[in-house]
Structure formats: C-alpha cells, structure tokens
C-alpha cells in the first residue's frame, strides 16, 4: 500500500490552522478534500500533526496576549448595545453577541471547538462560526490545553472577574 504524505505547503498550512482551531481530523480531511478536489486522507493528516508535535512548540509571549482595551472591545455588553458588529475578519462580520455568549458559558471551563459550536452557534453559519473561533484563537483570547481542548487566557478571566488586567 502506498503511504500518503502531504507535500503542498498551502494544504499543510490550512490543515494546521484547522487543527489548531480544534477541528476534528475527519472534518479537516473532508473540508480539504472538498476544497482541493483531491483526496486528503486522515492518515496523511495524522502523519503531519504527529511530525509537528515533535517540533519545538513556541510559547506565547506576554506581549501577544490581548490588552484590556482589546478584551473590552470584544466582550463588552455596553458596546454591544451600541453596535453588535466588532469587525470584519476573514470575510465575516464578527458578532459581539456570540463572543459574549462564548465567554459567559465557558470562562472557567475547558472546552472544545465542537462543543461550543453545537451549544452556541445560532446566529452565524459554519464558516462564520469558524471565523469567530479563529479570531479568538489567533489573538490569544483562548489558549490550547491539549489537542482538542481550549480555555480562556488568564487576562480574560481577570478582566471578567475583577474588571482589571
């Protein structure tokens, strides 16, 4: 049997982005296969991800965590009354209402992408929810605990609990 490996850098980067966002490997394989009109197998993705895990992982520096103003802009219920749209990210309008709901539901718990998507995705479609999640992840509002679990960073927890960062 022929071993399958991913060699296209664009597909590799997209696969890693999807994995880091918490998407399941089977869903990544389906999505990439559909987008690229070629078969991307789960085993090829597992080989890619296990090879990446062996590399040195970079820690997030203190400066990369969100500032108080960024946290307030994203999760402020007062700002939501003025304007529910935060910004346009990845072609989707990010809704403050969804971000606040995610924060209130999962602030002190570990959670998965799938769990949050099933429980709270009522206002945006599949790609819209993914863009919201990607924004939280990319801007370090949430951090990875293990392969599939995430939690809110300490700065967000402090802001919500004490109103300070």
Residues 6+ apart with CB under 8 A from 93: 85, 86, 87
141 is in which domain, residue-wise?
62-162
pLDDT band at 152 (very low <50, low <70, confident <90, very high): very high
The CATH number that applies at residue 100 is 1.10.10
The per-residue pLDDT of the chain, averaged, comes to 83
pLDDT at 21 over 60: yes
Residue 156 lies in a domain: yes
Q: pTM here?
A: 0.65
Residue 2 is assigned to a structural domain of this protein = no
Residue 31 included in any domain: yes
H helices of the chain, in order, are 9-20, 25-36, 42-54, 68-75, 77-82, 96-106, 113-120, 126-138, 154-162
What is the pLDDT confidence band of residue 164, given thresholds at 50, 70 and 90? low
More confident residue, 45 or 91: 45
Note whether residue 35 is domain-resident.
yes
Q: What is the pLDDT of residue 3?
A: 46
Q: Among 36-40, 64-68, 98-102, 128-132, which is the least confidently predicted range?
A: 64-68
- What is the reported pLDDT for 109? 93
Which one of 17, 35, 54 terminates a domain?
54
Structure tokens at 124: 């945006």
Q: Is the pLDDT of residue 2 over 50?
A: no
């Amino acid at each position: 049997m022929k071993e399958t490996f991913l060699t296209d850098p664009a597909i590799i980067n997209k696969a890693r982005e999807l994995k880091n966002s918490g998407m399941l490997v089977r869903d990544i394989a389906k999505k990439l296969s559909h987008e690229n009109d070629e078969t991307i197998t789960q085993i090829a993705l597992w080989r890619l991800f296990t090879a990446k895990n062996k590399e040195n992982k970079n820690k997030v520096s203190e400066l990369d965590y969100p500032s108080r103003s960024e946290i307030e802009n994203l999760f402020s219920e007062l700002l939501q009354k003025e304007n529910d749209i935060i910004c346009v990210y990845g072609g989707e309008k990010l809704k403050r209402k969804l971000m606040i709901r995610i924060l209130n539901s999962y602030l002190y718990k570990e959670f998965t992408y799938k769990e949050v998507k099933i429980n709270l995705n009522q206002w945006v479609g599949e790609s819209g929810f993914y863009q919201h999640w990607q924004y939280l992840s990319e801007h370090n509002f949430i951090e990875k605990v293990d392969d599939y679990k995430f939690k809110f960073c300490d700065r967000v927890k402090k802001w919500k609990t004490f109103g300070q960062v």
